[in-house]
A and B are shown apart, each in its own frame.
Chain A
Amino acid sequence: MNANLLEKARVAPPPESDPQVEQRLVKRAKCGDLEAYDGLVRRYQERIYATIYHMTANHEDANDLAQETFIKAYQALKSFKGDSSFFTWVYRIAVNKTINFLKQRKNKTHMSLNDLDFNTEHDADLLALISEKTPRREVNLIELQEKLNIAMQKLSQVHRLVVTLHDVQGLSHEEISRIMDCNTGTVRSRLFYARQQLQAYLSDYLK
């Protein structure tokens, strides 16, 4: 139970700060206040970038798409009625942009992976996964990273997206259903199928 709680706490996205602050920023940005829009970008840049990066497995593509997402969001800001949170709305733009991009790119996958951060070597779960296999942990973490990304790229776009949003980004089924504009049952079944696929691709690394 504790392990689950720890996992959840680590996976869960950073707590949303006061939604009223977000509303105020959106309102000011609508009036042409670029400083306010800058605040909104800073608020979500990491999560938007990460989602696109995990979908494309390419830093340069993720950089371009993330910038374009925020530019597109600014252009469409007048049409934002506030029915959903700004966060969900921007996520939707990012997801649509990324899926369109991947459709155009089709099978021309060129991975440009980011480096693993320093904390990787201190992640007990990851170490447990590889410790029995080899004493050269660093090499195997990088190898594992590549294998994982290759496996992710084998998934269809919607399945990759669900795994990214839920298992990597830590969004709830409800949030994902709002972003993907489908019901939570669909999210759950897609997640199940995607995990099954990944488990099969990575069976050598999962005991």
Chain B
Amino acid sequence: MNPAPQDFDQLRKLLALKRHEQPPPGYFNHFSDKVIARIEAQGLVMRPSWRQRLFPELDAKPVLACAYGLIITGLLVVGLGVSQSLESEESPAPTLGSPWFAQTPAPASLSSGAAVARPLTGQTDLTSSVDPVFTSSPPRFLFDVNQLRFERASYDLH
């Protein structure tokens, strides 16, 4: 709707008088202080989350958030790669034909095919999980079943 043109020039000049109505001098000097004081008095002060404290600029700049994400992902990938390479250097995986196998003396049980008695406790010599041969002698547990003795108990009831 387009209102018909009308001369409101005089009225607009008169309305300009409203702009001269001013609050008492110095009124605005303390206005914001009063607002802030009321916010504090009402316990409305916002506490920032840990994310906002650490990265206050993330909310305003999504590009920055993406960049942070990429950097962190990149660091994780690099970290994983480094840790794997270090592991492989310290304990190389046992593969057939590798030098590790060549240096390890082959167990007699494997070479002769006979079972070799080895103590499981005490002098345990488990060099490798590929040699699951148990000793024929029972292990020396704290309560050695083979050395248990039965004694009759007699109670004097009188």
A interface vs B, CB < 8 Å? 7, 10-11, 23-24, 27-28, 30-32, 34, 37-38, 41-42, 45-46, 49, 53-54, 59, 63, 66-67, 70-71, 74-75, 77-78, 113-117, 119-120, 123, 125-126, 128-129, 141, 144-145, 148-149, 152, 163-164, 167-168, 185, 188-189, 192-193, 195-196, 198-199, 202, 205-207
Which among A74, A167, A168, A199 is the interface contact of B39 at CB below 8 angstroms? A74
Who on chain B is nearest to A28 by CB? B56
A-side interface mostly: helix
Chain B's closest residue to A24 (CB) is: B60
B39: chain A residues within 8 A (beta carbon): 34, 37, 71, 74
Contact for A117 among B10, B22, B32, B34, CB less than 8 A: B22
- Closest residue of B by beta carbon distance from A29: B46
Does B158 make an interface contact (CB < 8 A)?
no
Q: Which residue of A lies closest to B59 (CB)?
A: A27
| Cβ–Cβ contact B23 & A34, under 8 A | no
A11 to B9, CA, bound (A): 13
Task: Supply 18 further A-B pairs (C-beta < 8 A) apart from A27-B60, A115-B21, A120-B20.
Answer: A7-B16, A31-B46, A37-B39, A41-B35, A45-B31, A54-B18, A67-B31, A71-B44, A74-B39, A114-B21, A116-B22, A117-B20, A126-B20, A168-B16, A168-B19, A188-B1, A188-B2, A205-B14
How many residue pairs, one in A and one in B, have C-beta atoms under 8 Å apart?
148
